[in-house]
Amino acid sequence: MTQLVAGVDSSTQSCKVTVRDAATGAVVREGRASHPDGTSVDPRHWWDALGAAIADAGGLADVGAVAIAGQQHGMVALDADGRVVRDALLWNDVRSADAAAQMVDELGREAWVTRTGLVPVASFTGTKLRWLRDAEPDNAGRVAAVALPHDWLSWRLRGYGPVDESPLGPDLDALATDASDASGTAYWDPVRREYDPELFELALGRPMRVAGSEPAADTVVVPRVVAHDEAMGTLTVDVTLPSGRAAPAGLLVGAGLGDNAGAALGLGLGPGDVAVSLGTSGTVFGVTGTDVLDPSGTVAGFADGTGSRLPIVTTLNAARVLEVIGGLLGVDHDALGELALQAPAGADGLVLVPYFVGERTPNRPDATASLLGMTPGTTDRPHLARAAVEGMLCALADGLAAVEGTGVTVSRLLLIGGAARNEAVRTVAAQVFGRDVLIPKPGEYVASGAARQAAWALTGTLPSWDTATATVPADPHPEVLEQYRAATR
The rounded distance, in Å, linking the Cα atoms of 115 and 196 is: 8
The rounded distance, in Å, linking the Cα atoms of 447 and 454 is: 10
Give the CA angle between residues 41, 234, 32 to the nearest 5°: 40
The closest alpha carbon to 442, from 30, 91, 34, belongs to 30
| C-alpha of 485 from chain center | 26
The rounded distance, in Å, linking the Cα atoms of 163 and 75 is: 21
**DSSP single-letter state for residue 169:** B
Contact 176, 223 (CB under 8 A): yes
**121: phi then psi, degrees, rounded to nearest 5:** -135, 175
The rounded distance, in Å, linking the Cα atoms of 221 and 206 is: 11
Q: Say if residue 383 carries a ligand binding annotation.
A: no
| C-alpha of 406 from chain center | 21
Strand 208-210 to 469-472 pairing: unpaired
Residues acting as catalytic residues? 259
Q: Say if residue 73 carries a ligand binding annotation.
A: yes
**DSSP single-letter state for residue 288:** B
Amino acid at 436: D
For 146, 269, 322, 374, the CA distances from 19, given in Å and listed in that order, are: 30, 21, 31, 50
Alpha-carbon dihedral angle through residues 324, 330, 336, 341, given to the nearest 10 degrees:
-120
Helix H or strand E encompassing 161: none
Decide: helix, strand or coil at residue 41: strand
Contact 460, 454 (CB under 8 A): no
Sign of the torsion angle spanned by Cα atoms 319, 323, 324, 328: positive
**157: phi then psi, degrees, rounded to nearest 5:** -65, -30
Binding residues for substrate: 72-73
Binding residues: 72-73
